[in-house]
Chain A
Amino acid sequence: MDDLATENDRLIRYREDDPVDHAAVTVDSFLDQTAASAVRVEPGDDARELIPHLERLALVEVNFPAFGDGRGYSSARLLREAGYEGELRAVGDVLVDQVAYMRRCGFDAFDPDAPLNEQDLEAALTRWPEVYQSAADARTPIWSKRHA
């Protein structure tokens, strides 16, 4: 229980639904068993393997063992492109200066190793008045506004 309580302190969610109450399994385990509804994607995993099973997934954790390994950004975005609507949680070495891009790639929850400063988080998420690209979030790219 202590572990869970600690995790909840750090967990930041931008979703209305309740968090999944059981631990995420590895991609290999998930593909082997039908019961799990939470999976953890490591940087070397091919997140596309999950696509045939999206309807039974409620939580995908994407692990960032080191913040400089950016594979998880692609994992997140391609799951959203495939239509995944469940929780997409960035876990591990997740820093406040990364969360804005992560939100754009489709992450809607963060469970960082080190807690994020609330003010810094607010600043990071409200920093960008516009975006140049279409991505996995709902923001309107600059080029679309220019030719609206």
Chain B
Amino acid sequence: MYLYDQYDQAMVDARVEEFRDQARRRLEGRLTEDQFKPLRLMNGLYLQLHAYMLRVAIPYGTLNSRQMHALADIADKYDRGYGHFTTRQNIQYNWIKLEQAADLLADLAKVEMHAIQTSGNCIRNISSDHFAGAAADELVDPRPYAELLRQWSSFHPEFSYLPRKFKIAVIASDTDRAAMRLHDIGIQIVEQGGELGAAFYVGGGMGRTPMIAPCIKDFVPLDRLVTYAEAVLRVYNRYGRRDNKYKARIKILVHEMGKDAFTEAVDEEFARMLDEGIEPPFAELERIRTFFTDPAFEAGASEEIDRTDPDFALWVDRNTVAHKAAGYVSAVISLKPVGGIPGDATSEQMRVMADLAREYSFDELRVMHTQNVVLPHVRKADLHALWTALDGAGMGSPNLDTIEDIIACPGLDYCSLANARSIPVAQKISERFAASGKTEALGQLKLKISGCINACGHHHAGHIGILGVDRKGVENYQLLLGGSEAEDVSLAKITGPGFDEAGIVDAVETAADVYLRERQDDERFLDTYRRIGMTPFKEALYG
């Protein structure tokens, strides 16, 4: 994985001291809250429902055991012994004190981490495929391109006061595990005529006005990647709407201009920029690539897995994923225990994950946008020992991509923007299905819950989505069906009138039962919905 050189370290260290100075000026009253707010946000510090919240960047979701240990230590030293893994592969802490925030950032910098641009109207942390470098189906490892863009976007002098936040995802396989087309820019590394290049999808997003990004350029040569991104950002910075924050994302600009006119504007800007020396030399990309070479996989590692323990066998079937190296898998650590808080991990659990990564996965971990953690490179022969350790730490739930593997935003329990609680709904649904035993029969069923229209819980992209709303001061939940964040991307549709908390749990079960009744062959819930449409579900829900 990428390691800082003296330049990267100097930049992160400088940022810590800059923020220390800014926080001091705020505490002295020399900055107003209005002036300080964008500065703290660009360092990941929110003022949330209960306290300051700090979001730490985990670039493209990759971290090593030392970094995971540091995250655990921070949870104990500055917070209340836990953290929350987010849908953009980051981690956030809920109980941070402003007067300690700079010290926390300094601790992060010691392990080559930071909270830079994890909030604010700037280019956010770049996300990527959580199986990058391990997936059997990838063209190349997408992370070098993500790292190149991370450096380009960090402290960008022109694009730090954009109309709104700006999120970029990079993938390099036809299977989309990063919700690429629901980002402001989604990049897919592709091959044309033996050359690698980048397909640019621009103007996707969830939130109030969900949109799927159209492809505006199917092949940008890799030695123009940064320049093309710069051109997209300049068009957005100049012409993105600033009169209404709900219409300020680039998706609205692309939609209002039309894809062709937008692409033309980007191409014009790009043509002007080509001589400006914006693009790092190809040698820089080559340098970054050397950090993402394969670990020393054991040749001839055994393909055998002893499946005598049925609980273990179930976990293997559900939570391990094909790897490009023979005898290896990627193993998913579930942060979705039945009845638990999706994405939360205690400091102890973080340490367990870190130690297991060091022992069994070449010291590497990945955070998934589904709020789980991956050990990307595990020998099949080590799986039983790994599972035993995970199970002992409450992280052995065999539920990847099942209805118990729920994405949920923090909701009204933590978030000042939320209208309804998300976590209790997730808890009750996972308990309901675990108790009924239907989880297995339902197979892949991605359920995603947001506590408000900002859609941090990706409800638009759920096979089943739930959106919490405020109905005259009472929590109410809308049900959505038919979304997908993957390569078969689609936006979910609302079924009809909303439900109260107990009602939404029943409604999810009703929808699941329609699927079980109607499905053909090995259809997933999503496939059945796409074939039979909304009507049978509506009849069952409201009929």
Question: Which of A's residues lie within 8 Å of B, judged by CB?
Answer: 43, 67-71, 73-75, 77-78, 81, 95, 97-98, 100-102, 104-105, 117, 120, 123, 127-135, 141-147
Interchain CB contact under 8 A, A128 and B234: no
The distance in angstroms between the C-alpha atoms of A131 and B159, with both chains bound, is: 14
Q: Chain B: which residue is nearest A117 at the CB level?
A: B30
Between A74, A95, A130, A135, the greatest number of chain B beta carbons within 10 A of the residue's beta carbon is seen for A74
The distance in angstroms between the C-alpha atoms of A95 and B272, with both chains bound, is: 30
The segment from B16-24, B138-146, B296-304, B515-523 that touches chain A is B16-24
- For A120, list chain B residues within 8 Å (CB): 21, 25
Chain A nearest CB from B179 CB (Å) reads 26
Given A70, A130, A134, which contacts B162 in the complex, CB threshold below 8 Å? Answer: A70
Interchain CB contact under 8 A, B237 and A71: yes
- For A73, list chain B residues within 8 Å (CB): 157-161, 237
- For A128, list chain B residues within 8 Å (CB): 11, 14, 155
Interchain CB contact under 8 A, A146 and B284: yes
Overall SS of chain B's interface: helix
- For A95, list chain B residues within 8 Å (CB): 35
With an 8 A cutoff between CB atoms, is B280 at the interface?
A: yes
Chain B nearest CB from A119 CB (Å) reads 10
With an 8 A cutoff between CB atoms, is B414 at the interface?
A: no
With an 8 A cutoff between CB atoms, is B7 at the interface?
A: yes
The answer to whether A130 and B7 touch (CB under 8 A), given A143-B151, A143-B280, is: yes
For chain B, the count of residues having a C-beta within 8 Å of the partner chain is 42
- For A123, list chain B residues within 8 Å (CB): 21
Interchain residue pairs A-B with the least CB separation, the first 8: A70-B161, A104-B157, A143-B280, A101-B157, A142-B7, A143-B284, A73-B158, A129-B10
- For B18, list chain A residues within 8 Å (CB): 127
The distance in angstroms between the C-alpha atoms of A98 and B21, with both chains bound, is: 14
- For B272, list chain A residues within 8 Å (CB): 81
Chain A nearest CB from B41 CB (Å) reads 11
Interchain CB contact under 8 A, A70 and B159: yes
With an 8 A cutoff between CB atoms, is B472 at the interface?
A: no
- For B152, list chain A residues within 8 Å (CB): 132-133
The distance in angstroms between the C-alpha atoms of A71 and B238, with both chains bound, is: 5
Other than the given A73-B158, A73-B237, A132-B151, 14 more pairs (CB < 8 A) read A67-B38, A70-B121, A70-B162, A75-B238, A77-B157, A78-B234, A97-B22, A123-B21, A131-B155, A142-B151, A144-B280, A146-B5, A146-B7, A147-B284
The distance in angstroms between the C-alpha atoms of A58 and B178, with both chains bound, is: 49
Chain B nearest CB from A64 CB (Å) reads 9
Interchain CB contact under 8 A, B157 and A133: yes
Q: Interface 1/0s, chain B 29-49, versus A by CB < 8 A?
A: 010000100110000000000
Given A68, A74, A104, which contacts B121 in the complex, CB threshold below 8 Å? Answer: A68
Interchain CB contact under 8 A, B161 and A69: yes
With an 8 A cutoff between CB atoms, is B80 at the interface?
A: no
- For B238, list chain A residues within 8 Å (CB): 71, 74-75
The distance in angstroms between the C-alpha atoms of A147 and B287, with both chains bound, is: 9
The distance in angstroms between the C-alpha atoms of A98 and B157, with both chains bound, is: 9
The answer to whether A145 and B281 touch (CB under 8 A), given A68-B121, A132-B155, is: no
Chain A nearest CB from B65 CB (Å) reads 27
Question: Which of B's residues lie within 8 Å of A, judged by CB?
Answer: 5, 7-8, 10-11, 14, 17-18, 21-22, 25, 30, 35, 38-39, 121, 151-152, 154-163, 234, 237-238, 242, 272-273, 276-278, 280-281, 283-284, 287
Interchain CB contact under 8 A, A130 and B242: no
The distance in angstroms between the C-alpha atoms of A70 and B239, with both chains bound, is: 11
Q: Chain A: which residue is nearest B269 at the CB level?
A: A78
Q: Chain B: which residue is nearest A142 at the CB level?
A: B7
- For A105, list chain B residues within 8 Å (CB): 157-158
The answer to whether A67 and B161 touch (CB under 8 A), given A81-B276, A127-B14, A143-B281, is: yes
Interchain CB contact under 8 A, A132 and B11: yes
The distance in angstroms between the C-alpha atoms of A141 and B281, with both chains bound, is: 11
Q: Chain B: which residue is nearest A69 at the CB level?
A: B242
What are 19 A-B pairs with beta-carbon distances under 8 A?
A68-B121, A74-B238, A78-B234, A81-B273, A97-B35, A101-B160, A104-B158, A105-B157, A120-B21, A129-B11, A130-B10, A131-B155, A133-B155, A133-B156, A133-B157, A144-B281, A146-B7, A146-B284, A147-B281
The distance in angstroms between the C-alpha atoms of A8 and B307, with both chains bound, is: 81
- For A75, list chain B residues within 8 Å (CB): 238
- For B159, list chain A residues within 8 Å (CB): 70, 73
Chain B nearest CB from A101 CB (Å) reads 4
Interchain CB contact under 8 A, A97 and B284: no
Chain B nearest CB from A14 CB (Å) reads 15
- For A68, list chain B residues within 8 Å (CB): 38, 121, 161
- For B278, list chain A residues within 8 Å (CB): 133-134
The answer to whether A77 and B158 touch (CB under 8 A), given A70-B237, A134-B277, A146-B7, is: yes
Chain A nearest CB from B14 CB (Å) reads 6
- For B156, list chain A residues within 8 Å (CB): 132-133
Given A74, A130, A147, which contacts B234 in the complex, CB threshold below 8 Å? Answer: A74
Interchain CB contact under 8 A, B160 and A70: yes
Chain A nearest CB from B375 CB (Å) reads 31
- For B277, list chain A residues within 8 Å (CB): 134
Q: Chain B: which residue is nearest A75 at the CB level?
A: B238
- For A67, list chain B residues within 8 Å (CB): 35, 38, 161
- For B30, list chain A residues within 8 Å (CB): 117
- For A143, list chain B residues within 8 Å (CB): 151, 280-281, 284
The answer to whether A147 and B283 touch (CB under 8 A), given A70-B161, A81-B272, is: yes
The distance in angstroms between the C-alpha atoms of A74 and B234, with both chains bound, is: 7
The distance in angstroms between the C-alpha atoms of A100 and B155, with both chains bound, is: 10
The distance in angstroms between the C-alpha atoms of A127 and B155, with both chains bound, is: 12
The distance in angstroms between the C-alpha atoms of A69 and B30, with both chains bound, is: 22
The distance in angstroms between the C-alpha atoms of A132 and B10, with both chains bound, is: 11
- For A98, list chain B residues within 8 Å (CB): 161
Chain A nearest CB from B150 CB (Å) reads 9
- For A146, list chain B residues within 8 Å (CB): 5, 7, 284, 287
The distance in angstroms between the C-alpha atoms of A38 and B10, with both chains bound, is: 40
Chain A nearest CB from B109 CB (Å) reads 14
Interchain CB contact under 8 A, B158 and A74: yes
Chain A nearest CB from B134 CB (Å) reads 28
- For A78, list chain B residues within 8 Å (CB): 234
